[in-house]
Amino acid sequence: MASPQSVYRAVVRELNRAASISAPATRSKTIAENFRAIIESGSQNDAQRFDHDLANAVTFMRSQRMYKILLERYNPLHDMSTEERVKATARRVGLDMPVRENGDTDQ
């Protein structure tokens, strides 16, 4: 079983990696603070179960980070609006969307 220090370091590493994906303005500092408080208070009770729960949290954070990376890599249209998605799909097959004169979207 891993030592509490190594589990804590793994949590901090994953939090930093997850933080590096998002913009600094959108990062929540309370997540890191809450993990620190949980680790400080929880290690006295059932140490083996606590370490297992933290290892599961690290696995979850790593999986979420990889999911986001893979989603961006293999589905680049996922964060676009409907109109942007239609234009990108048309460009993918070699077409351009017609330019609208009046800006209507009902056509």
Q: Give CA–CA dist 32/47, Å, rounded.
A: 20
Q: Give CA–CA dist 18/16, Å, rounded.
A: 5
Q: Give CA–CA dist 16/62, Å, rounded.
A: 11
Q: Give CA–CA dist 57/65, Å, rounded.
A: 12
Q: Give CA–CA dist 67/71, Å, rounded.
A: 6
Residue 104 included in any domain: no
pLDDT of 106 over the 60 cut: no
Overall domain count for the chain:
1
Range of the domain at 13: 4-92
Residue 106 included in any domain: no
Identify the pLDDT of residue 45: 64
Segment 5-56, tens digit of pLDDT: 777 788 778 877 766 666 666 666 777 677 777 777 765 667 777 778 788 8
Segment 59-103, tens digit of pLDDT: 888 888 899 889 888 887 878 888 888 888 888 888 887 777 775
3-state secondary structure at position 82: helix
Residue 98 included in any domain: no
Which element (helix H / strand E) includes 10? helix 4-21
Identify the pLDDT of residue 16: 76
Residue 82 included in any domain: yes
